[in-house]
C-alpha cells in the first residue's frame, strides 16, 4: 500500500508559533489552510484567559483538536515482501522486516533492513537499520531519533551521523565518521506522519514513547542475538522530550511487569542540543543572543531589552504549565514564550541552528541546502521501492505533526524528571551541545542539567567545566563536566547538529562513550 501525504513544509521548534493562522488558527492549520506566515491572531495574547472553557484559547484548542486525524490518503495495496513479527503480549503491534541489498542504493556495504512497525491498521512507523561496520555480533546497538517534532530521523542518517550523506548529484557520499563505525544503528521515523511513517496522528510524547517501546520489543525479537549487546538511545532537539519518555517506558515496564521483562537492557542515553526542560531553557535565549554564550551579540540593545522584559511573564506562564501539566496552560505558556522571547531572534535573519551564518536555503528544512538533496533523494521512485516505502511523498519535516504536538501543550511540558529517574538508577546520561546553536543552546542545556534532581545534584552542580581534548587529533574540542552517571559536554564550533558541523569531534565523542568512557576523561 502506497500513500500520499498532504503537502506541508517544515515545522521545527523555532517556527511553529509563526505558522498559526488567523480566525481559529488551530482548526485552520489542521486543515492545511490559511496564510502560514501570519501571526495576527497572537495580538493581545497577554490579556487572554487561559484557563477554563470560557477562554478563547481553550475554545480554539478544542475545535482544532476535533479536526480529522488521519493525515494520509491510501492509493495502493501494501506490498507482500516483508517478514512479519508479532508478540503475544501485545498482538496489536506487528513488525514488518525487509532485508536490503546494500548494492541497490549504495548507502553502505553493511547488512541492512528496513520496514514498518504497524499498530492495527491505524499507525505505521518506518525504520532503516544498519549493522556495525566493525563487529556487529558484539558491538552496541543504538536507536537514533531526530526531533521537530515532525522531523525525519533520516536527517541524522543522510546528513549528520549515518553511513553516507547525499551529494548535489543525489548520489550517496561515504561518511568515514559514521556512528555505525562501531555500533549497529536504527533510524526510526516517529511519531506518525514523519518521513515514510503514516496513519492516525499522535499529539504527545507520552503516546509516541509507548509506540517506540513496542517497536524495540519486536525489533529485539527479530534480532535476538543483539539483545545481549549494549543498547543506547540517542537523538537531538525535540528528542530531548522523546528520549527521557522512552527510557521511562523501558524502566517502568521492566520494574512493574515482571512477567513481561524486556528482552534488552538500556545501557545509556545521549541527548544532543535537546529541548528537555522548557522553563529553564527559555531563560537562556536572551543571554545566548546577547553575547553571554561565547558568541558575539546578534541582537541590539533594544531587542535584548524586549526579550528581557518578557522573560518574567514567560516564566510565570511556564510555572503554571509545570504545576498543572495540562494542555491549555502549557499551550498558552509556549505560545507566549515563543512569540515574545524566542522569535525576537528571527529579526536577525540568522540561522536558528547556527548563529554564525544566514540560512543557506531559506525555503528548505532547517536552513541547510544539503537537506534539500536528502529530500530529493528520498523522493526518487527507485529509492522508495527499494526500501519498501508506502508513502509517495517524503518531507524532511511535517508541519502538521508539529502543530498537533503544539496544540496538546507538549512543547512546554517538562521531561527532566525522567532523566532523574535514569541517574538514580546509575544509567549513564550524556547531554552534549554545539555551542553555536541558538534554539536549543548550550547555556540552557547546561543550566537544566546542573539543576536536575538526583542524589548527586549538589556535587555535580559545583563542578567546573574543564577542557575536552580529542585524542585522535590532539586538539581541544570542547568543555566537559562529569560526576556519577551524568556528563555534560559543550562542543566547540558546532551548531544544532554536532555531527554535521564537527564530524571528527562527534566521532571521537561517540567512540569514547560506546567504550564506556562515560566521564569523557573528566577528572574530579
Q: Indicate which residues carry an active-site annotation.
A: 237, 437, 496
Among 511, 524, 433, residue whose Cα is nearest residue 484: 524
Among 292, 306, 403, 294, residue whose Cα is nearest residue 345: 306
Distance (Å, whole) CA 446 – CA 293: 11
Distance (Å, whole) CA 399 – CA 32: 9
Distance (Å, whole) CA 332 – CA 411: 11
Whether 60 and 26 have beta carbons less than 8 Å apart is answered as yes
**What number of other Cβ atoms are within 10 A of residue 199's Cβ?**
22
**What number of other Cβ atoms are within 10 A of residue 201's Cβ?**
24
Distance (Å, whole) CA 34 – CA 215: 36
Helix extents (H) in 85-230: 102-105, 154-155, 205-222
Give one DSSP letter per residue of 115-147, joined into a string: EEEEETTTEEEEEEEE--SS-TTTS-EEEEE--
Distance (Å, whole) CA 223 – CA 139: 13
Distance (Å, whole) CA 399 – CA 426: 37
Among 271, 236, 441, 284, residue whose Cα is nearest residue 352: 441
Among 267, 261, 168, residue whose Cα is nearest residue 485: 267
Distance (Å, whole) CA 299 – CA 311: 16
Expressed in angstroms, the distance from the first to the final Cα of the chain is: 56
Amino acid at each position: 500500500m502506497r500513500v500520499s501525504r498532504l503537502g506541508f513544509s517544515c515545522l521545527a521548534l523555532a517556527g511553529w508559533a509563526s505558522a498559526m493562522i488567523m480566525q481559529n488558527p488551530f482548526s485552520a492549520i489542521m486543515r492545511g489552510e490559511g496564510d502560514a506566515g501570519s501571526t495576527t491572531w497572537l495580538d493581545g495574547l497577554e490579556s487572554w484567559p487561559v484557563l477554563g472553557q470560557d477562554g478563547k484559547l481553550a475554545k480554539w484548542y478544542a475545535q482544532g483538536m476535533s479536526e480529522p486525524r488521519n493525515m494520509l490518503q491510501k492509493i495502493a495495496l501494501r506490498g507482500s515482501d516483508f517478514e512479519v513479527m508479532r508478540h503475544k503480549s501485545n498482538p496489536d503491534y506487528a513488525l514488518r522486516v525487509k532485508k536490503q541489498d546494500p548494492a541497490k542504493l549504495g548507502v553502505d556495504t553493511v547488512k541492512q533492513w528496513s520496514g514498518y512497525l504497524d499498530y492495527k491498521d491505524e499507525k505505521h512507523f518506518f525504520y532503516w537499520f544498519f549493522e556495525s561496520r566493525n563487529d556487529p555480533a558484539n558491538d552496541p546497538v543504538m536507536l537514533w531519533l531526530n526531533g521537530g517534532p515532525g522531523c525525519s530521523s533520516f536527517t541524522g542518517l543522510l546528513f549528520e551521523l549515518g553511513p553516507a550523506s547525499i551529494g548535489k548529484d543525489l548520489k550517496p557520499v561515504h561518511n568515514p565518521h559514521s556512528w555505525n563505525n562501531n555500533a549497529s544503528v536504527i533510524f526510526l521515523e516517529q511519531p506518525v506522519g514523519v518521513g515514510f511513517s503514516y496513519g492516525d496522528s499522535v499529539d504527545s510524547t507520552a503516546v509516541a514513547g509507548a509506540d517506540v517501546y513496542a517497536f524495540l520489543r519486536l525489533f529485539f525479537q527479530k534480532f535476538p542475538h543483539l539483545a545481549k549487546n549494549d543498547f543506547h538511545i540517542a537523538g537531538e532537539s525535540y528528542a530531548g522530550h522523546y528520549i527521557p519518555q522512552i527510557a521511562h517506558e523501558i524502566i517502568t515496564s521492566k520494574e512493574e511487569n515482571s512477567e513481561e521483562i524486556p528482552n534488552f537492557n538500556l545501557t545509556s542515553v545521549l541527548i544532543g542540543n535537546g529541548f528537555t526542560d522548557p522553563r529553564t531553557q527559555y531563560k537562556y535565549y536572551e543571554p545566548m543572543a546577547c553575547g553571554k554564550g561565547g558568541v558575539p551579540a546578534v541582537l541590539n540593545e533594544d531587542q535584548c531589552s524586549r526579550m528581557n522584559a518578557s522573560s518574567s511573564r514567560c516564566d510565570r506562564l511556564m510555572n503554571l504549565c509545570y504545576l498543572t501539566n495540562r494542555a491549555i496552560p502549557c499551550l498558552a505558556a509556549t505560545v507566549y514564550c515563543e512569540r515574545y522571547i524566542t522569535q525576537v531572534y528571527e529579526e536577525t535573519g540568522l540561522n536558528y541552528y547556527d548563529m554564525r551564518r544566514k540560512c543557506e536555503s531559506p525555503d528548505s528544512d532547517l536552513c541547510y541546502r544539503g537537506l534539500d538533496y536528502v529530500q530529493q533523494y528520498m523522493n526518487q521512485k527507485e529509492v522508495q521501492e527499494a526500501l519498501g516505502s508506502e508513502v509517495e511523498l517524503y518531507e524532511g519535516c511535517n508541519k502538521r505533526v508539529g502543530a498537533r504536538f503544539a496544540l496538546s501543550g507538549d512543547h512546554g511540558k517538562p521531561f527532566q524528571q525522567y532523566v532523574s529517574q535514569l541517574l538514580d538508577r546509575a544509567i549513564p546520561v550524556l547531554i552534549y551541545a554545539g555551542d553555536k546553536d541558538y534554539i536549543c543552546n548550550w547555556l540552557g542545556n547546561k543550566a537544566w542539567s546542573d539543576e536536575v534532581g538526583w542524589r548527586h545534584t549538589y556535587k555535580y552542580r559545583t563542578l567546573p567545566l574543564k577542557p575536552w581534548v580529542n585524542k585522535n587529533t590532539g586538539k581541544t574540542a570542547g568543555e566537559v563536566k562529569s560526576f556519577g552517571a551524568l556528563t555534560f559536554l559543550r562542543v566547540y564550533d558546532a551548531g544544532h547538529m554536532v555531527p554535521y558541523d564537527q564530524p571528527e569531534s562527534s566521532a571521537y565523542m561517540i567512540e569514547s562513550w560506546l567504550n564506556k568512557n562515560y566521564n569523557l576523561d573528566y577528572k574530579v
